[in-house]
Each structure stands twice: as C-alpha cells, then as structure tokens.
Amino acid sequence: MRVICRCEDIDEEEVLRAIREGYTDLESLKRHLRIGIGPCQGRTCMPLLIRILARETGRRPEEIAPTTFRPPVKPIPLGVLADRPGESENAGRAGDAEGDADHGTEDEPEGGGGR
C-alpha cells in the first residue's frame, strides 16, 4: 500500500477510508488522520492528498486546495525565537523566513485552523 504521509505514517487505504466516512475537505482530513502535521508539515503529503481527494470527489485540485493552505513552517528553536528582538504586530510569521507568501484570506484564517 502506498504511503501518503511519511511523517505520520498514513497510507492511501487510510486516506480513502476517511474520505468514504465523509472527511472530504483538507481541514477535517488533517484533523481526523493527523496527516500533514509531521515534521515536514505537509510538504511531502499535501500535494498527494489533494490529488487523491480531487480524484475521489470529482473536483479539481484548485477547488480543494484552498487559498488558505499554509506553506509549511520550518522548525525553529524556541531559544532562537526568544533571542530575536520583538517585532511589530503582524510583521509576519514563522514561515515567512522562507519567503512564503501570505495565503490567508479574511474569512479563512491563516494556519488553516488549529491543532
């Protein structure tokens, strides 16, 4: 069976089962399966997941991948963050260090939402 999320060890069968159970958007799949929240923060698995979800639900990948899908944040040690001087509010976020654009919209909050 094909592994979709290497970090969290989730294979295609598990993804398909979840989709059949009614988890048909990225947010709920992410929370239900914990796919895409490993050390690589979905860099590896999100593109695959989007393709499977598109195929299974007959949608186009662009319809599924919301503008809100946050590019992964690079792990940053708390010590490094603590030493950096305080910046002004909303100056950016962890991912911005890699030049990630802000994909958030007003309605759909950044970070896609939670745990």
Partner 1 sequence: MKDRYHVVIIGGGVSGCGLAYTLSTMGITDVLVLEKRYLNAGATGRCGGGIRQQWSTRENIRLAMESVKRFEVLAEELEYEIEYEQGGYLILNYTEEEDEQSRKNVALQNSMGLDSRYISPEEAREIVPALNTSDILGATFCPTDGHANPFWVTEGYARAARRAGVEILTGIEATGFRTGDGRIEEVETTRGPVKADYVVNAAGAWSATLAARAGVELPNRPYRHEILATEVYRHFLDPMVISFSKGIYFSQTKRGEIVGGIGDPNEPSGFNMKGSLNFLHRMAREITHIIPSFRNLNVVRQWAGLYDVTPDARPILGAVPELDNFIQMNGYSGHGFMISPMCARLTAEIIAYGRTKTMSIDTLTVDRFRRGDLEMEANVVG
59 binds, among partner 1, ligand FES, none (CB under 5 to 8 A by kind): none
The DSSP-derived string for 38-66 is STTTTTTHHHHHHHHHHHHHT--HHHHS-
Site for ligand FES contains 15 (CB under 6 A): no
Structure tokens at 20: 């059949």
Residues 32-51, interacting with ligand FES (CB under 6 A)? 35-42, 44-45
| Residue 5 binding partner per list partner 1, ligand FES, none, with a CB distance cut-off of 5 to 8 Å that depends on partner kind | ligand FES
Distance of CA 87 to the CA centre of its chain: 26
Residue 98 tokens read as: 């890699």
Least separation in angstroms between residue 103's CB and ligand FES is 18
